[in-house]
Amino acid sequence: MRAVLRTSVSTGFVAVLALSACGFTGGEEQGERAADQGERIVVDNFRAPVADWSLESDAAYILSLSGCLETLTRYDEAQGEIVPSLATEWQQVSPLEWDFTLREGVQFQDGTPMTADAVVASLQNVLDAEVPARAFGPKVVSGVEAVDERTVRITTPTESPLVPYRLASVNTGVLAPAAFESGTVDPFGHCTGPFTPVSEEPKQSLTLDRNEDYWGGPVQLAGAEVRFITDGATRATQVQTGEADISLSVPVSSLSALESDPEVEVLRADSPRTATLYMNNGRAPFDDVDFRRAVRSALDLDALAASVYEGAALPATGPFAPSEPWAPETAGTPQQDLAAAKELLTAAGYTADRPLEIIAIVERAEFADVATVIQDDLKSIGVPVTIRTAEYAAVEPDLLAGNYDMVLSQRNRLIDIADPIGFLSADYTCEGSYNLSHFCDEDYDRLVAQAAETADTEERYELYTRAGQILQEQAVNVWLVNEQAIDAVRADLQNHAQDPLSRYVLHADTATPGP
Amino acid sequence: MSSRTSRSSRGPVTAFLLRRTATLGVTVLLASFVVFLIPYVTPGDPARKIIRSRVAGAVLDESAVQALTQDLGLHESLVVQYLRWLGRLLGGDMGLSYASRTPVVEQVLPALWTTLSLVTATLAVAATVSVVLGTVAALRAGSLPDRIITTVTQGFVAMPEYWLAPMLVLVFALELSLLPSAGWAGPASAVLPVAVLALRPTSYFTSAVREGMLDALAGEHVLAARARGLSRRQTVRRHVIPNGLLPLATLAAVWFAGLLGGSVIVEVIFAIPGMGRLLYEAVLNSDIPLAQGGVVVVVGLAVVLTTAADLVHGLLNPRLRGHHA
C-alpha cells in the first residue's frame, strides 16, 4: 500500500499545536502578569545522561525536554497524531521509501544551515551506534540518503507506514555535522531548538540560553537550567521552595503537600504505563481462559488504585489507557464479582492442588503491596497464592521461558515510537520477542500484521482497538492500573504543556512573569 | 651510645613499616578481587543489563546482546577477565564506562574530589564541635552540663540520615528559606549535608575526647605537673588536651575512610555528585567498570587511611610498636 501524507504548515503552527497539548496551564488569570523575557527557569529532571550525549541513549530525552534537540516530526498528544517539526511534509514514494521535505530557513545554533546532507549525517550516526535505538536501528531502517538539498529519503527493509513515527522519536533528533567531529556527540551549540546548551556540570545540571535565531519565532525565556535530581522527594521540595519552576515525576508521597501549596500546580496525565498482572497462558491452570477470567473477576481494581496507589493511578480498562486514541471508547474497568469468579473456576475445573506464585519485581516497590492485595482477593475465591520478590534481571530468563505462574510488571507501551505496534507485536503475537504471557492467537496475529502495513492512521488505530479487545476477551493478563505522569510546576509558569513522556518540556513560549 | 640506640630502634620500626605495607598490598589485592566479582555474583546477564542502562525498555535486540558480549569480552572466563582488568588497573586504566563509553577515571576523579571535600568539611565540623563539647564534659565530669552533652550527643547516633536530611530540608529550606534544599554549588549548599553527615561522628568523637581527657586528667604526669606548680588551666592546656585528642586522630581517620563510600544516602538526597551517588547510579545502570573503579578507589583509600592511622598510632606508642613488631 502506498500512502501519501502531505502537510504544509506555517512556522508558528507547531508552537500552537504544542500549546494545545494536554495539561495546558497558564491562561487569562495567569496572563495578567506579563512574561519577563529576562527570566530564567529551573527544571528538575529525574535522570542524568548516563551515556554522555549519545543520541541513541536516554540522553536524547534530556536534550529534547531542554528545548535543544528537535526531530523531523513530532507526536502531538492532543491530536494523537504525528505533526510537522523540522520536516514540513512527507510521503511514501515507494513501498520501501519515504521522503521527508525539510523546513526552509532552519539553522543550527552554530549558524550552519540545516541541509539534507546534515540531517542524513545526524541520522546515520544514530543508525551506526554500537547499541542502536530500537526506534531507529538497522532492523527497521536500512538506509538514509539526501535526495536533494531539502529532501531526505528513509529506506526500510520491509514496507512500513510507521516511518514518520520513527522520525518523531527523540533518538532521531538532528544535530549539526560539527556535533560529531570529535568522535563523541557534542550538542553544545549544535541543536536547532529554542534553547542552546552552554555549559554542563556533569551529573548535576545543564545550562541553556535562548536561541536568538530560533526558526519557530521569539523565545520568551532568557534561559533555563535543567538539574538532574534522582531523589523524587528532593524534586518535590525544590518546586515548593521555588528553587525549581518545573519538577518532573514527583512521588505520590509528596502529593498532599504539593496540592495544598497555592504556589504549586500539580499536573497529571495518563502515562503509557499500565501495571499488569502477567499470567502464564502456556501453563496450567492459566492455559484455561475461564481460569484467567476468574482471576480477573476476583480482583478489585478500584480498591487497588485507591489503596496501594493512593489515587495516583487509575483503575485500568484494558491494555491501553482510556486517553489513547486506539483505546475502545466504551471500555470500563472490570468490576470485582466473586460469585462469577467462583463459577468460572468451576467451569475451568480448577482444583487447588498447588499454591500459585506471584513474582513481584523489586524494582517497583509498590508491587509487593499489590501482590498482597491480589493474594487476598484470590484467597477469597479459594485460590491459594504465594508471593516471591525478585530482581527483574534474575527472573527474566524464567519469564521468557515460561517457567512461572504470575508476575507483576509494567512497561512503557510507547517507549520506541508513539504507536503501540511494537508493544502489540513483541508482547502478544505468537512469535513476539517479549511475549511473557506466552499467548498465541491467530486472529490476533492477523490483526497486528495487518495494522503494521496500514498507512491510514484511523484504520490502523481501529485495528489496534480490535487487537486490544481480543486480549481483554481472552483475559490474557489482568491490566491493573494506568499509571499517571505527575509533574509539579510553579503556579505562575505560563504556557507550559505537560508531556506524559517528558520529551517536550521547554519550548519557545514557556514563560514566567518573574519576581 | 646514642647512635647505637637509634640504629637498634630503627630495625623494628623498619620491619613494622614493611610488614604493614605488605599487609596493605595484600588487602588491596584481595579487595580488588572481591570488587571485581561483585557484578558477576548479582543476578542477570551483564550484557543485557548494560544495554538496558543505555536504551530504556524491556525488549532487547538479541543480536545486540550477543555483539556486546563479544565486544566486551564478557564470554571469557572470570580469571581472564580479572587479570586483564587488574593489569589495566595497575597501569592506571580503569577502562571505559559501559554506559557512557568514557574513561572511568574521568568520572571517578571529580566525584572523589567532591566527596573528599564533603567528608573533610564534615570531619572538621565534627572534630571542632566534639573537642569543645568533650573538653567541657571531661572538665566538668558528673555535672549537669556533662550529662546534657553526653545524652544529647548519644542521641545523635539514633538519628538516621534518611530521616534527618528531609527534616532539615523541611525546616531550613522549605519553612525558613535560609538554605538550598539540594545541589553542590557553593558553601551554602554544603551546610545541610555536612550537618547531617557530621552528627554521628560528632557523637563518637565527643565521647572519645571526653574519655581521653578523663584518662589524661587521672594520669601521674598531670599530678606531677600540678605538684610542680602549674595552674589547672596550664596543666589542661599543656598535658590534658594533647593527650585527650590522641584517640580523636585515629577515630577521625577511620571515619574518613568510612564516609568516603558511606555518604550515599546524603549524596542522593542532596543531589551531590560524589562517590556515593556515582556508585549508586553505577549499580542502578549495571555499569560494571564504573562500579568497580569507584569501589576500588574507595576501598583502596580506606585501607590506606586506616593503615596510615595504625602506623601513626603504632609509631607514637612504643608499647604498641613493640607488639606489632
A41-98 confidence digits (pLDDT tens): 999 998 887 667 888 888 899 999 999 999 999 988 877 789 999 999 999 999 999 9
Contacts of A284 (CB under 8 A, 6+ apart): none
Place of cell 502531538: A76
Q: How far apart are CA B129 and CA B206, in angstroms?
A: 8
On whether residue B201 sits in a domain, the answer given is yes
What pLDDT shows up at residue A270?
85
Average pLDDT over residues A394-410: 90
Return the top range by mean pLDDT from A111-120, A197-206, B130-139, B230-239: A111-120
What pLDDT shows up at residue A11?
35
User: Quick one: which of A456, A461, A473, A474 has its CA closest to A421?
Assistant: A461
Q: How far apart are CA A212 and CA B229, in angstroms?
A: 80
From chain A, the residues in CB contact with B177 under 8 A are 241
Contacts of A183 (CB under 8 A, 6+ apart): none
A305-309, A369-373, B13-17, B266-270: range with lowest mean pLDDT: B13-17
On whether residue B1 sits in a domain, the answer given is no
Q: How far apart are CA B325 and CA B319, in angstroms?
A: 10
Domains of chain A from N-terminus onward: 1-68+193-263+491-515 (3.40.190.10), 70-187 (3.40.190.10), 270-484 (3.10.105.10)
Could you tell me which residue, A255 or A294, shows the higher pLDDT?
A294
Rounded to the nearest 5°, which phi and psi values hold at A488?
A: -130, 135
- The total number of structural domains in chain B stands at 1
Rounded to the nearest 5°, which phi and psi values hold at A99?
A: -110, 135
What pLDDT shows up at residue B179?
92
Which DSSP string corresponds to A263-327? Answer: TEEEEEEEEEEEEEEEE-TTSTTTTSHHHHHHHHHH--HHHHHHHTTTTSEEE--SSS-TTSTTS
Span B104-121, pLDDT tens digits? 888 899 999 999 999 999
What pLDDT shows up at residue A7?
40
Span A454-497, pLDDT tens digits? 988 889 999 999 999 999 999 999 999 998 889 999 999 999 98
Q: What is the mean pLDDT of chain B?
A: 81
**Position A240: which residue type?**
Q
On whether residue B265 sits in a domain, the answer given is yes
What pLDDT shows up at residue A6?
38
From chain A, the residues in CB contact with B59 under 8 A are 134, 422, 426, 433-434
Average pLDDT over residues B86-95: 82
**Test mutation, B114, B181, B269, B281, chain A, max A CBs within 10 A:** B181
Average pLDDT over residues A316-330: 89
User: Quick one: which of A46, A43, A50 has its CA closest to A68?
Assistant: A43
User: CA-CA distances (angstroms) from residue A16 to A81, A198, A510?
Assistant: 15, 27, 12
* Residues, chain B: 325
A233, three cell numbers: 522527594
Residue A356 scores a pLDDT above 50: yes
Q: Does A285 touch chain B (CB under 8 A)?
A: no
Residue B224 scores a pLDDT above 60: yes
Residue B264 CA to chain centroid, in angstroms? 12
Q: How far apart are CA A122 and CA B297, in angstroms?
A: 38
Span A206-217, pLDDT tens digits? 999 999 999 999
User: Quick one: which of A82, A83, A156, A146 has its CA closest to A119?
Assistant: A146
- Which residues 46-105 of B are in CB contact (within 8 Å) with A? 48-49, 51, 53-59, 61-62, 64, 68, 71, 99-102
Q: How far apart are CA A40 and CA A46, in angstroms?
A: 20
Residue A410 CA to chain centroid, in angstroms? 13
What pLDDT shows up at residue B39?
65
Q: How far apart are CA B65 and CA B51, in angstroms?
A: 7
**Test mutation, A47, A131, A226, A237, chain B, max B CBs within 10 A:** A131
* B169/A238 touch (CB, cutoff 8 Å), yes or no: no
What pLDDT shows up at residue B324?
43
What pLDDT shows up at residue B10?
59
Place of cell 486517553: A323
Which DSSP string corresponds to A375-437? Answer: HHHHHTTT--EEEEEE-HHHHHHHHHHT--SEEEE--BTTSSSSSTHHHHHHHHSTT-TT-TT
What pLDDT shows up at residue A24?
35
- Which residues 373-432 of A are in CB contact (within 8 Å) with B? 390-394, 396, 409, 411-412, 415-416, 422, 426
On whether residue B85 sits in a domain, the answer given is no
Q: With contact defined as beta carbons under 8 Å apart, do A201 and B186 qualify? A: no
Average pLDDT over residues A90-113: 95
User: Quick one: which of A303, A332, A321 has its CA closest to A484?
Assistant: A321
CB-nearest partner of A230 from B110, B174, B268: B268
Rounded to the nearest 5°, which phi and psi values hold at A190?
A: -120, 10
On whether residue B271 sits in a domain, the answer given is yes
Q: Does A58 touch chain B (CB under 8 A)?
A: yes
What pLDDT shows up at residue A33?
64
From chain B, the residues in CB contact with A243 under 8 A are 173, 180-182
Is there a cis peptide before residue A285, judged by omega within 30 degrees of 0? yes
Residue A260 scores a pLDDT above 80: yes
Looking at the complex, report in whole angstroms how far the Cα of residue A231 sits from the nearest Cα belonging to chain B: 6
Average pLDDT over residues B229-256: 80
- Which residues 276-295 of B are in CB contact (within 8 Å) with A? 277-278, 280-281, 285-287
Could you tell me which residue, B43 or A274, shows the higher pLDDT?
A274
On whether residue B238 sits in a domain, the answer given is yes
* A434/B59 touch (CB, cutoff 8 Å), yes or no: yes
3-state secondary structure of A197: strand
From chain B, the residues in CB contact with A127 under 8 A are none
Q: What is the mean pLDDT of chain A?
A: 88
In terms of Cβ atoms closer than 10 Å to its own Cβ (0-12, 13-18, 19+), residue B242 is exposed
On whether residue B21 sits in a domain, the answer given is no
Q: How far apart are CA A65 and CA A70, in angstroms?
A: 10
Q: Does B39 touch chain A (CB under 8 A)?
A: no
Q: Which domain holds residue B216?
A: 104-321
User: Quick one: which of B80, B114, B72 has its CA closest to B294?
Assistant: B114
Average pLDDT over residues A111-136: 90
Residue A28 scores a pLDDT above 80: no
**Test mutation, B50, B59, B70, B290, chain A, max A CBs within 10 A:** B59
Residue A138 scores a pLDDT above 50: yes
What pLDDT shows up at residue A141?
93
Contacts of A352 (CB under 8 A, 6+ apart): A382, A383, A384
What pLDDT shows up at residue B3?
45
Question: What percent of chain A has a predicted confidence (pLDDT) above 90?
Answer: 63
> Which band of pLDDT confidence, cut at 50, 70 and 90, is reported for residue B140?
confident
On whether residue B257 sits in a domain, the answer given is yes
A360, three cell numbers: 513481584
What pLDDT shows up at residue B27?
81
From chain B, the residues in CB contact with A134 under 8 A are 55, 57, 59, 61
Q: Tell me the CATH number at B134.
A: 1.10.3720.10
> Which band of pLDDT confidence, cut at 50, 70 and 90, is reported for residue B58?
low
Residue B198 scores a pLDDT above 90: yes
In total, the C-beta contacts within 8 angstroms joining chain A to chain B are 131
From chain A, the residues in CB contact with B286 under 8 A are 393
A126-135, B123-132, B164-173, B272-281: range with lowest mean pLDDT: A126-135
Complex confidence, ipTM: 0.71
List residues bridging with A388 in a β-sheet: A359
Residue A174 scores a pLDDT above 50: yes
What pLDDT shows up at residue B56?
57
